[in-house]
């Protein structure tokens, strides 16, 4: 029980220190602690824990966007599932191709038949001797249109699965970009909120000082204090937003929980928007959604061919070489006409299977395959139309975000300068407290809008990548 009490004291002390740090960052004065921190170190385990917490932390892992994408591809269950489906489809294609080639087997069999009187021979005419041993290699080949169509269908299905894996990869890019730059924006918003909290505290002190000198009314102090409290709450919300953004990003890219990392500060790096004609050309050649729909339609067409093959004959060949003799050996046990006789021999057969009647099952399979083919064609046509619409929509989104970004940057700069000038005017008695509060609010809103605008442009570029496959990075 003493050990548990010691750990509980350490947790309380750590929580108090964390609360004090948060209050200090928000511009508040931490309350005096009733128990000094040194009094907690009386227990040996508590001292060891304190020494462990004060040990130097491991260096933070610095991640670029490309690093995050590589880690996310390894960690994403959905993307790995798409890769698995693609690998399974490739193996299906290999197996369908192998089915078109001759197969070789070695069959071994021993048959025992009850004998009859010597003059009657063997009792069962299905067997050739009382003891019959078969050990033969068999080469088998079957030729039919259904197998050829099955191979072509498997090839198209493998190509469609590969395209779907690429779709999953590009969708993952959008998710990583949004989370990556969302984290970067959360860091910038935290800095803005911290500056806002400092400005609120400084303005509160300024109004209190001016009130003592009789220059402003007490209502200005009340308004400044309300504004300072609001800025402190915004700081706490920004800290929570950054924490959640870090946790979401860590879950996305790390196989185990790890928050000891930082992202490269390239949110506001200049990234050019490709020309619309280039986007259209790339999308026409490299769009995986259209390619997946096309290959699916091709696979459905081969299904129709395979179903129609049920009306056609199928041909198979077999060749055997080995022994089929009353003794298990290369040579016959007795000489015939004074000569040794070998048991080794060969035989071959060819079978032509002609379908005659199966109560309309073949016709039903053809109708079923044609329905699936027609639906696959409609989905392919829809994918083409959606591509044309998405090119226009996503490019307009990226272009609008880029055009607005420069204005948002300028607005942020103007809001910062306006706040500085308004405070100077307030000190000289030329501005009211409401003007200062309005400037502080405008500064916070303009800074947040600038960060959100930068994230919007990055995500818009990532969405274009889902169409063209070209991720634009600084």
> Does 267 have pLDDT greater than 90?
no
CB-CB contact of 134 with 324 (8 Å) = yes
Q: What is the CATH number of the domain that holds 93?
A: 1.20.1600.10
Same domain? 75 vs 202 = yes
CA gap 316, 350 in Å, rounded: 6
Q: Does residue 31 belong to any structural domain of this protein?
A: yes
Q: Does residue 427 belong to any structural domain of this protein?
A: yes
CA gap 199, 205 in Å, rounded: 10
CA gap 129, 333 in Å, rounded: 14
Residue identified by tokens 């996503």 is 394
**CA of residue 394 relative to chain centroid, distance:** 21
Same domain? 406 vs 439 = yes
Tally of domains within the chain: 2
Minimal CA–CA distance to 291: which of 385, 465, 164, 469?
164
Residue 223's domain spans which residues?
68-101+164-311+379-468
CA gap 102, 263 in Å, rounded: 57
Q: Does residue 26 belong to any structural domain of this protein?
A: yes
pLDDT in tens, 159-201: 999 999 999 999 999 999 999 999 999 999 999 999 999 999 9
| Residue 116 pLDDT | 66
pLDDT in tens, 271-295: 889 899 999 998 888 899 999 999 9
CA gap 34, 9 in Å, rounded: 13
Percent of the chain with pLDDT over 90: 65
Same domain? 206 vs 179 = yes
Minimal CA–CA distance to 184: which of 254, 263, 248?
263
Length of the chain: 474
Same domain? 223 vs 290 = yes
Same domain? 76 vs 47 = no
CB-CB contact of 437 with 431 (8 Å) = no
Same domain? 41 vs 175 = no
């Amino acid at each position: 029980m003493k050990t548990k009490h010691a750990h509980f004291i350490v947790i309380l002390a750590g929580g108090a220190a964390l609360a004090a740090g948060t209050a200090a960052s928000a511009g508040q004065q931490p309350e005096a602690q009733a128990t000094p921190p040194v009094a907690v170190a009386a227990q040996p385990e508590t001292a060891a824990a304190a020494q462990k917490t004060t040990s130097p932390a491991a260096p933070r892992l610095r991640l670029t966007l490309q690093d995050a994408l590589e880690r996310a591809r390894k960690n994403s269950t959905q993307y790995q599932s798409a890769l698995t489906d693609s690998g399974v489809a490739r193996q299906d294609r290999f197996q369908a191709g192998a089915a078109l080639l001759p197969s070789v087997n070695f069959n071994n069999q021993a048959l025992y038949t009850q004998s009859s009187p010597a003059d009657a021979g063997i009792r069962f005419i299905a067997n050739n001797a009382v003891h019959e041993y078969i050990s033969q290699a068999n080469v088998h080949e079957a030729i039919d249109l259904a197998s050829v169509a099955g191979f072509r269908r498997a090839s198209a299905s493998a190509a469609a699965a590969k395209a779907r894996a690429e779709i999953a990869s590009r969708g993952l890019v959008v998710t990583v970009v949004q989370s990556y730059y969302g984290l970067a924006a959360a860091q910038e918003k935290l800095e803005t909120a911290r500056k806002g909290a400092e400005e609120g505290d400084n303005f509160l002190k300024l109004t209190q000082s001016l009130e003592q000198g009789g220059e402003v009314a007490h209502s200005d102090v009340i308004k400044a204090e309300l504004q300072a409290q609001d800025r402190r709450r915004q700081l706490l919300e920004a800290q929570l937003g950054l924490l959640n953004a870090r946790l979401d990003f860590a879950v996305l890219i790390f196989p185990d929980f790890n928050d000891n990392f930082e992202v490269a500060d390239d949110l506001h790096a200049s990234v050019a928007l490709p020309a619309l004609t280039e986007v259209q050309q790339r999308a026409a050649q490299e769009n995986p959604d259209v390619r997946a729909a096309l290959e699916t339609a091709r696979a459905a067409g081969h299904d129709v061919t395979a179903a129609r093959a049920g009306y056609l004959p199928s041909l198979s060949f077999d060749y055997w070489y080995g022994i089929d003799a009353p003794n298990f050996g290369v040579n016959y046990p007795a000489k015939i006409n004074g000569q040794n006789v070998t048991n080794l021999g060969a035989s071959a057969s060819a079978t032509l299977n002609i379908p005659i009647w199966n109560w309309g099952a073949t016709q039903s399979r053809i109708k079923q395959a044609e329905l699936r083919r027609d639906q696959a064609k409609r989905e392919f046509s829809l994918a083409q139309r959606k591509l044309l619409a998405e090119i226009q929509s996503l490019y307009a989104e990226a272009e609008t975000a880029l055009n607005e970004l420069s204005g948002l940057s300028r607005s942020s700069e103007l809001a910062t300068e306006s706040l500085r000038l308004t405070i100077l005017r307030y000190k000289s008695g030329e501005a009211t407290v409401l003007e200062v509060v309005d400037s502080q609010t405008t500064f916070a809103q303009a800074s947040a809008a600038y960060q959100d605008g930068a994230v919007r442009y990055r995500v818009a570029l990532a969405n274009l990548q889902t169409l063209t496959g070209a991720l634009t990075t600084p």
